[in-house]
Amino acid sequence: MQQKNLIIIFTRNPELGKVKTRLAKTIGNEAALNIYRFLLNHTEKTIRNIDCDKAIYYSSEINHNDIWDEAIYQKHLQQGNDLGKKMQNAFESAFSKDYNKVVIVGSDLFDLQPKHIEDTFSKLNTHDVVIGPAKDGGYYLLGMKTLNSQVFKKKEWGTSTVIQNTLQDLKHIDVHLLEELNDIDIYDDIKNIEELKQLIK
């Protein structure tokens, strides 16, 4: 039987003053928005040709005429009062539609490549959960075959304890860790990336 796989992208609507706010403290709102738009485009190009269904979840409203082509991406609104609840609801919705493997990624990773997604779907053949750890102590990717809802609860999202606490929740489950990547949150994250620095005017 053909497996049904889904990749979910969580994104913030690209609005001035509402994205990359920690980065904006150093480089200003306009440059932060330029960098976020660059990262959104990079994420879309990375995911577009992967052989699976794709869904984009917006933070505040669904945009219809943007880089996410409706012929390729299902479009949804994030639902929940914190990041954990929003992710849990997205996974629950996917599994209720009979997807076998579901992967969620963020939209602010300069180093994200198709191989990270493809490797996740492959590793889910032999592991229960796949996680892509981020250098700041969070994670940039989470893949599951069944809903492990405990990973979405009692977390201080955006802090350096997230991956550690998540792995503790999953200590009795077979977890595969991908390579660590750096998501873009503060100026230190971009200072060695010329392509992003050029977007600062």
CATH of the domain at 162: 3.90.550.10
Domain residues for the domain of 182 are 5-197
- Print burial letters for 4-31: b (CB count within 10 Å at least 16), e (below 16): ebbbbbbbbebeeebbbeebbeebebeb
- Secondary structure (3-state) at 170: coil
CB-CB contact of 169 with 161 (8 Å): no
Mean pLDDT of 34-59: 97
Mean pLDDT of 60-70: 95
Strands (E), the chain: 5-11, 53-58, 73-77, 101-105, 129-133, 139-144, 175-177
Of these ranges, 2-6, 178-182, 197-201, the one predicted with the greatest mean pLDDT is 178-182
Whether residue 119 is predicted with pLDDT greater than 70 in this model: the reply is yes
In total, how many domains does the chain have? 1
Cα distances (angstroms) measured from residue 118 to each of 27, 114, 121, 142: 34, 6, 5, 13
CB-CB contact of 176 with 130 (8 Å): yes
Mean pLDDT of 102-120: 96
Q: What pTM does this model have?
A: 0.94
CB-CB contact of 6 with 102 (8 Å): yes
Looking at the DSSP bridge assignments, the partners of residue 176 are: 130
**CA separation for the pair 46, 62 (Å, rounded):** 21
State residue 2's pLDDT score. 66
CB-CB contact of 182 with 132 (8 Å): no
| Residue closest to 23 by CA, chosen among 35, 11, 32, 14 | 32
State residue 154's pLDDT score. 87
**CA separation for the pair 87, 142 (Å, rounded):** 10
- Secondary structure (3-state) at 114: helix
Write out pLDDT tens, residues 10-34: 999 999 999 999 999 999 999 999 9
